[in-house]
Amino acid sequence: MRRILANIAGQFLALFAQFITSARADWRGIEPVNKQRIYFANHTSNADLPIVWTVLPPALRRVTRPVAAADYWLKTKARAFIGPEVFRAVLIDRRSEHQTEDPIAKIVAALDEGSSIIIFPEGGRNRSDDPLMKFKAGLYNIAMERPHVDLVPTWIDNINSVMPSGEVIPVPLGCTVIFGEAMHVAKDEDKDAFLTRASNALVALMPRREDAA
């Protein structure tokens, strides 16, 4: 019964997100095919996770699990249903003193079950004026554990205008999720070099002023 309710709630959330944001996917250099992937995205809003999940085709949505903060998604009964049941999120507690298992091992286990994942490598919401904050090591560690899985840069555009920080009611504006060309850790590439390359690949998808003209 909970699975049925979760499926219904997921369909409602997807329709609601589409209604509010007219969210659409822009696939650049990659196709929306059923292939295991790690979608790594920028993070500026609480709506980031639902928007990326929403714009995936239903067949991909069913096999894609976002990595999300347990301390956020387990805070209320509603979130505790939506996060684990609707999104089937891989919940990671950001408070090290509350962690009972290795976060990387938990994410890798989800990959080994056949899931794709959505991850936000900045580790938290970007409240700065820079396009991205410095990436945490997690993306590199996951990629090294499962180097065959495609890493797909995923830029979420305009979502901070739709759901500004601190707001609970979304503003009805358009939003685009841009999926870039897949990448992998190169042979003998160290952590810092890879994270810089991954960050640059993500920023490269950010629409420029002339793109919107």
Q: What are the per-10-residue average pLDDT scores of the chain (213 residues)? A: 75 71 86 96 87 92 93 88 91 74 93 97 88 95 97 85 50 78 95 97 85 45
Q: Is the pTM of this model over 0.85?
A: yes
pLDDT at 172: 46
Q: Would residue 20 be called left, alpha or beta, if left means φ above 0 and alpha means ψ between -120 and 50 degrees? A: alpha
Residue 19 belongs to what H/E stretch?
helix 2-21
Give the Cα separation of 80 and 38 in Å (integer). 24
Cα 113 to Cα 69: distance, rounded to the nearest angstrom: 20
Q: Which domains does the chain have, with CATH numbers?
A: 2-212 (3.40.1130.10)
Reading the block at residue 3, the tokens are: 């699975």
CA distance 202 to 102: 26
176-179/150-157 β-pairing: antiparallel
H helices, E strands: number in the chain: 10, 7
For 69, what's the count of Cα atoms within 13 Å in the CB-facing half-sphere? Answer: 16
Res 104: pLDDT: 94
Residues 161, 151: Cα–Cα separation, whole Å = 27
For position 19, what pLDDT does the model report? 63
pLDDT at 71: 86
Specify the amino acid at residue 136.
K
Question: Coil, strand or helix: which one is 60?
Answer: helix
What is the C-alpha separation between 14 and 25, in angstroms, rounded?
Answer: 13
Cα–Cα distance, 206 to 201 (Å, whole number): 10
